[in-house]
A and B are shown apart, each in its own frame.
Chain A
Amino acid sequence: DQQVKQNSPSLSVQEGRISILNCDYTNSMFDYFLWYKKYPAEGPTFLISISSIKDKNEDGRFTVFLNKSAKHLSLHIVPSQPGDSAVYFCAASVSDSSYKLIFGSGTRLLVRP
């Protein structure tokens, strides 16, 4: 049973435009969400996170939006750059002492020059 879902396996965007990656979750106990970026043959790299007490968190070109009522979060990348081409994983957790991240299946982003 997938508790974190990324329904778009891939996304292609023109350089300079906005990339929007989506993530849905089913467990209402999740209270902390993260996005990771992964290049081929490398480990995932932490990108940005958001606590459930917020609905938006911004870091440079990256903004994560959280809609708790819809159990939906999204990652916006503006402007998109070719170096952003990677697989993006959404992850969620219950911020107790379990330290466990539940990952989605990833979305492959291609930014075309």
Chain B
Amino acid sequence: DTAVSQTPKYLVTQMGNDKSIKCEQNLGHDTMYWYKQDSKKFLKIMFSYNNKELIINETVPNRFSPKSPDKAHLNLHINSLELGDSAVYFCASSQGGRLEAFFGQGTRLTVV
């Protein structure tokens, strides 16, 4: 059983489109995250939810909107996609204030 799963694994789309990436964790964790790995391979946090409440919102364009319907799910919706949004997006989860996060396999988004 995959602990943190993201769908889709690959996403190719045109500029201006709206797309969503889904994430689910079956670890019973109370905190979920979205990280972005850019072309320089840096992993940077975008959002964090704790018990469905947004606790971290980094300087991300408001075209990016996370949604957490329950503690096990954190989806990422992106409006009006731009070329610069091309990256690998990782979902992660952790429990009880522990910083050891478990990551999904990533979603490679390519905007053409």
The CA of A43 and the CA of B43, in the complex, are separated in Å by 11
Identity of the chain A residue whose Cβ is nearest the Cβ of B108 in the assembled complex: A41
Is the CB of A20 closer than 8 A to any CB of chain B? no
A98 near B43 with CB under 8 A, answer no
Report the separation of the CA atoms of residues A101 and B97 in the bound assembly, to the nearest whole angstrom. Answer: 12
Inter-chain residue pair count (beta carbon < 8 A): 59
CA distance A17 to B48 in the complex (A): 39
Q: Which residues of A contact B99 (CB under 8 A)?
A: 32, 34, 49, 93, 95, 99, 101
A42 within 8 A of B: yes
Residue of chain B at shortest CB distance from A87: B41
The answer to whether A101 and B105 have CB atoms under 8 Å apart is no
Give, as a whole number of angstroms, the nearest-CB distance from A7 to chain B. 14
Residues of B within 8 A of A32 (CB): 99
* Cα distance A16–B100 in the bound complex, in angstroms: 28
Task: Give Cα distance in the complex from A44 to B106, angstroms.
Answer: 9
With A42-B105, A43-B105 known to touch, is A99 a contact of B50 (CB < 8 Å)?
Answer: yes
Please name the 9 residue pairs, one residue from A and one from B, whose CB atoms are nearest each other, closest first: A43-B103, A103-B43, A46-B100, A44-B103, A43-B105, A93-B99, A43-B104, A99-B48, A100-B45
**23 interchain pairs (CB within 8 A)?**
A36-B103, A41-B105, A41-B106, A42-B105, A42-B106, A43-B92, A43-B104, A43-B105, A43-B106, A44-B90, A46-B100, A49-B99, A87-B41, A89-B43, A95-B97, A97-B55, A98-B56, A99-B31, A99-B48, A100-B56, A103-B43, A103-B44, A105-B42
Residue positions of A touching B, CB distance < 8 A:
32, 34, 36, 41-46, 49, 87, 89, 91, 93, 95, 97-103, 105-106
